[in-house]
Amino acid sequence: MADHALTHDEVVAPHGVHEHPFYQKHHFETAEQQREAAGFGMWLFLLTEIMFFGGLFMAYLLYRNWYYDAFVSGSNTLSLSLGLINTIVLIGSSLTMAMAVWAAEVRKQGALVMYLVATIVLGCVFLGIKTVEYKEKFELHHVPGASFDISEFVHPTDKAEKPLPVDMANKTQIYFSLYFAMTGVHAFHMIIGLGMLIYFVIKARQGLYTTGYVQPIENFGLYWHFVDIVWIFLFPLLYLINRH
């Protein structure tokens, strides 16, 4: 189906002009006003999210400049293939989410449920892979804190890796702090998102969102895509600092 613009009336006001769609809250004048308010509100919320992650990115930028070698070595211990798979999975989940919004807009209940479930599955795959990665870090003692161990960076098992002097190797802890803080906050957002997705699936099966009431799905889509964008930056910044 090609892109096309539906006028609002076709979608939400099929019965007579004085009827308000059931989902319109009565403090809004029109359903359209409500929809735009909700969308704008969601964007403002994403604005706060930008600044929330912004503080972490600021810290990352500073320490990456200061301790570049430690960041490179730290980054090279991450699994490129797992990171790449996760990137593809997450962008894929963004695609299915976008398709879910489309399905809701053209009122295809079956497709909507299918795409939402697909998004959940992909989200779970992402978190699963993330768990595997985290587990490996725990086993290697690369988790910041008392048990943090720098021996891997001073005497790398992989001969291709450049050994770090001890003072620089100590700074890998900052890299891993930021790695865990950034991916952790990101994963936390995904867990919240998955919880909401499950709710949406239940409601979508009851046909709530295929009657013109697209706005919750659309807003959630914005949130999910935002989480995707954060990952689009995290992937090169954390995994690909200098791989050659």
Partner 1 sequence: MGISPVLWQFLTKWLTSSALWPREASTVAGQTDALYIFLWLMTIVGMALVLALLVVFSVKYRKEKHPNAIQIEGSTLLEATWTIIPLGIFLFVFVWGAWLYFRIYNPPADSMNIYIVGKQWMWKAEHPGGQHEINALHVPMGRNVQLTMISQDVFHSYSIPEFRVKREVIPGRYSTVWFNATAAGTYHLFCTQYCGTLHSGMVGDVVVMTPSDYQAWVDSSTSGMSLAQNGERLFASMGCSQCHTGDAAARGPNLAGIYGAKLKMDDGSTQLVTDGFLRDAILNPSAHLPAGFKPIMPTYQGQISEEGMIDLVEYIKGLKTNYRVQQTLGTSQSNQAAPSASGTVIP
Partner 2 sequence: MSTANTIVNLPDQRTAKLPKVNYINKEHGLLSWLLTADHKRIAMLYLFSITGFFLLGGFFAGMVRFELLTPAGDLMAADTYNKMFTMHGIVMIFLFLVPSVPATLGNFLIPIMIGAKDLAFPRINLLSWYLYLGGGFFTLASLVLGGVDTGWTFTTPLSTHYLNTHVITTATAIFIAGFSSIFTGLNFIVTIHRMRAPGMTWFRLPLFVWSNYAASIMMVLGTPVLAIAIVLVALERTVGIGVFDPAKGGDPLLFQHLFWFYSHPAVYIMILPGFGVISEVISTFSRKRVFGYTAVAFSSVAIALFGFFVWAHHMFIMGVSNYSALVFSLLTMLVAVPSAIKIFNWAFTLQKGSITFETPMIYVFGFIGLFTIGGLTGVFLGSLGMDIHLTETYFIVAHFHFVMVGGMLMAFLAGIHFWWPKMTGRMYPEGMSKFAAVTTFIGFILTFFPQFIVGYLGMPRRYHAYPAEYQVLNVLSTAGATVLGVGYMLPLLYLGWSLKYGAIAGNNPWQATGLEWQIQSPPLTENFIEIPIVEQEAYDYEWLAHKTEKEVTTVG
Partner 3 sequence: MSDYKVSTKHDPHTPDKHDPANVTNPEHAEHHIVGPATYLGIFAILMVGTILTVVASRLPLGIFTAPVALAIAVTKAVFVVLFFMHVKYSTRLVKLTVAAGFFTFSILVIMSMSDYISRAWGQW
Q: Calculate the CA 157 to chain-centre distance.
A: 33
Q: In this chain, which of 79, 170, 177, 211 binds partner 1, going by CB under 8 A?
A: 170
Please report whether residue 140 would count as binding partner 2 according to CB under 8 A. Answer: no
Touching partner 1, residues 53-72 (CB under 8 A): 66-67, 69
Closest CB 8 distance from partner 3, rounded Å = 5
Q: In this chain, which of 146, 167, 206, 243 binds partner 1, going by CB under 8 A?
A: 167
Touching partner 3, residues 25-54 (CB under 8 A): 26, 29-33, 35-36, 39-40, 43-44, 46-47, 50-51, 54
Contact 13, 213 (CB under 8 A): no
Please report whether residue 204 would count as binding partner 3 according to CB under 8 A. Answer: no
Q: Which amino acid is at 231?
A: W
Q: In this chain, which of 3, 139, 158, 167 binds partner 3, going by CB under 8 A?
A: 3
Distant-in-sequence, close-in-space partners of 178: CB < 8 Å, separation ≥ 6: 56, 59, 60, 63, 238
Q: Is 213 left (phi over 0), alpha (psi -120 to 50) or beta?
A: beta
Kindly state the tokens that stand for 55.
Answer: 């503080």
Which backbone phi and psi does 35 adopt, to 5 degrees? -65, -45
Distant-in-sequence, close-in-space partners of 81: CB < 8 Å, separation ≥ 6: none
What is residue 213's DSSP assignment? -
Residue 224 to residue 105: CA distance in whole angstroms: 17
Helix 109-139 × helix 80-105 angle, to 10°: 160
Binding region for partner 3 (CB under 8 A) = 1-9, 11-13, 17-18, 20, 26, 29-33, 35-36, 39-40, 43-44, 46-47, 50-51, 54-55, 57-58, 61-62, 65, 80, 84, 87-88, 91-92, 94-95, 97-99, 102, 105-106, 218, 221-222, 225-226, 228-229, 232-233, 235-237, 240-244
Binding region for partner 2 (CB under 8 A) = 25-29, 33, 36-38, 40-41, 44-45, 47-56, 58-59, 62-63, 66-67, 144-146, 170-171, 173-174, 177-178, 180-181, 185
